Structure 1
Amino acid sequence: MATAQANGITIAYETSGNPVDPPVLLIMGLGMQLISWPQDMVDGLVEQGYYVIRFDNRDAGLSSKLHQHKKPHLLWAYLKSLLGLKQSAAYTLNDMADDALGLLDALGIARVHVVGASMGGMIAQMFAARFAARTLSLTSIMSSSGRRGLPGPTPAARNALMRGPAYPLSRTEVVERGIAVMRLIGSPSFPTPERMLRAAIERSLDRSINPDGIARQMVAIVASGDRTPLLRKIHAPTLVIHGAADPLVPVACGADTAKAIPGARLEVIEGMGHDLPPQLIERLLALLDQHLRGKMAPELPPRSTHRAGSGTHH
């Protein structure tokens, strides 16, 4: 695995495709690793003529673990967020956007199409807002603006995220729990086959386990607060993709993100939850290719807005 020293940490990364092609930086979500991007999606982007860069966020995968910071108390952090109290975090999403910039500097890449999923979408938003000269385009997938008052996860999804086991689990139990969580937050209309889920979770466990890092990343999200003022500063072409059936980050969060970014286009996919299921990879690749090549049709007035899938705006 290739590594780069950037922003004071070691960042593990992987590149795919031809370095002379337009670069696409993929940023993954909470506790996920660079291998969490579906390989078919990476291969598809390469086939479309892009140079794909994936990396492990700090505290995940094979990048630096910030064990010098103790594991935060998630329930207390959540209560503080509800009350609007200041959080003490080991780092924020700003630091994680700086990591991405540092990696690009280390690789000698001047400008990039930045694509983020979930927490990765939040980091991508920060990157596009703060580093406009380095951003060719922004794609924010199943993410949020962080604005107070937006709907939160369903109770079941929140519990799955917040409640860790009270005792150490065996590897088998960890895998089964991971499958149950992905079933809960995944796409109801496009269920990932269990053998694929199991293989992905086992591969991630074999590569790296860092529960404390997931907690620190979660607090980084909460501590970063409302990004709306920053989003208004984004002028890169922006595509917001969101699942209509997302139980973790409701579709209203995607709509709010698109509304805050000047000229952003919103694509809502019916039946999609909080995952990137194999059945949707071709559709996602088609959307990305249109967007990255600047061929996405301009957004129509709300009454007749086209969405991926069918239906009307909520």
Structure 2
Amino acid sequence: MPRIKANGLDIEYEDIGSPDDPMILLISGYMGQMTEWPDSFKQSLVDAGRRVVTFDNRDIGLTTAAEYPGLEETVPPPMEALMQGAAEGAPVHEQVPYVLDDMAADAAALIEALGADQADVLGLSMGGMIVQLMALNHPERVRTLIPVMTTSGDPELPPTSDDALEALTAEPEAETLEAIGDLAVQTYHVIGSHPDIRNSDAELRASAIADVQRANRPLGLARQFAALLAQPRWHERLGTVTQPTLVLHGAADRLINPEGGRDIARRIPNAEFEIIEKWGHDLPEKVVPVLLNRIIPFLGRTTPTGPANAD
């Protein structure tokens, strides 16, 4: 895959489809490399007339911090301290290397670096938080907004269940590919979709092993999680978002309660919202056509066709 410099990073990305079509930028969640997007999902968007860009967020996959010396060795504060500080209203964002605002700036800079004025932005989980912050902080780069399986960040919303949080932050029993694969299966049995639509255990195991073979960056994951915990709240600003918005959430999501998605749609004027039955906190192949049946018509209603590059 190619790399491009944007916002002080060497960003690993993939760009498929016609450069003359409107860009859609797909933003992964916590721990998610750009390889998590199913080929069928990306190709269907291309077939629908979109230039599809995926990339590795900072500190994950093959994206590196070109202009931030020492970042790769920076150890963030313990999760418990950040959570307690945030609950007490302390300025914990000052204690971490970066927050989600910085990751939103990365994505906005990538759009510009790739020669587009704007993009439709679709983000999963933490990526869905990032796209909201793009719309708030960099509205000139966002044409339409699609937050998926995510939350407005309102602290009054139902919290993550203890078992789901434990599953997300669990570590493998050993530093072996077999243990990493086993942990992925265990994790998605807790936070993933109903067994009727969840990917098979073999697929979950193979995907986790492929990811760690591509890039294994445990400190980067810790810094990403710290960025998520330390991000200043943004829910009260969502009423200022003017871009067309589609919010999608799974009814079976135990990591981020569907009320998180509902709250985004309630706060953003004229936002569309849909809950999908049996869908959890994952992106199984069987849910791809269901999502596309919502996303492609939305883009057709809200996005122009034809050349979309900057002059």
Residue identity in the other structure for 2:55:
F
Which residue number corresponds to residue 43 of structure 1? 43
Is 1:86 the counterpart of 2:71? The answer is no
For the 8 Å contact 2:59–2:217, the answer to whether it is kept is yes
Is 1:74 the counterpart of 2:79? The answer is yes
For the 8 Å contact 1:71–1:213, the answer to whether it is kept is no
Which residue number corresponds to residue 5 of structure 1? 5
**Identical amino acids, percent of aligned pairs:** 36
For the 8 Å contact 1:12–1:55, the answer to whether it is kept is yes
Distance 1:217 1:248 in 2: 17
1:265-286 deviation line (CA, Å, top 9, x unaligned): 1110111110111111111111
Distance 2:121 2:82 in 1: 29
Among 205, 209, 217, which residue is 1:202 paired with?
209
For the 8 Å contact 2:111–2:141, the answer to whether it is kept is no
Matches within 5 A, 1:124-203: 124-164=131-171, 168-188=174-194, 189-203=196-210
Matches within 5 A, 1:218-233: 218-233=225-240
For the 8 Å contact 2:153–2:234, the answer to whether it is kept is yes
Which structure 1 residue ranges, 5 or more long, are not aligned? 297-314
Distance 1:249 1:228 in 2: 15
Residue identity in the other structure for 1:16:
I
TM-score, L = length of structure 2: 0.91
Which residue number corresponds to residue 58 of structure 1? 58
Distance 1:161 1:75 in 2: 15
Q: Which has the higher contact order (CA 8 A, sep 6+)?
A: 2
Partner of 1:67, secondary structure, is helix
Residue identity in the other structure for 1:72:
P
Residue identity in the other structure for 1:91:
Y
TM-score, L = length of structure 1: 0.90
Residue identity in the other structure for 2:77:
P
Which structure 2 residue ranges, 5 or more long, are not aligned? 66-70, 304-311
Aligned-residue Cα RMSD (Å) equals 1.6
Aligned length: 295
Partner of 1:245, secondary structure, is coil
For the 8 Å contact 2:238–2:268, the answer to whether it is kept is yes
Is 1:271 the counterpart of 2:275? The answer is no
Give 1:124 shift.
0.5
Matches within 5 A, 1:300-311: none
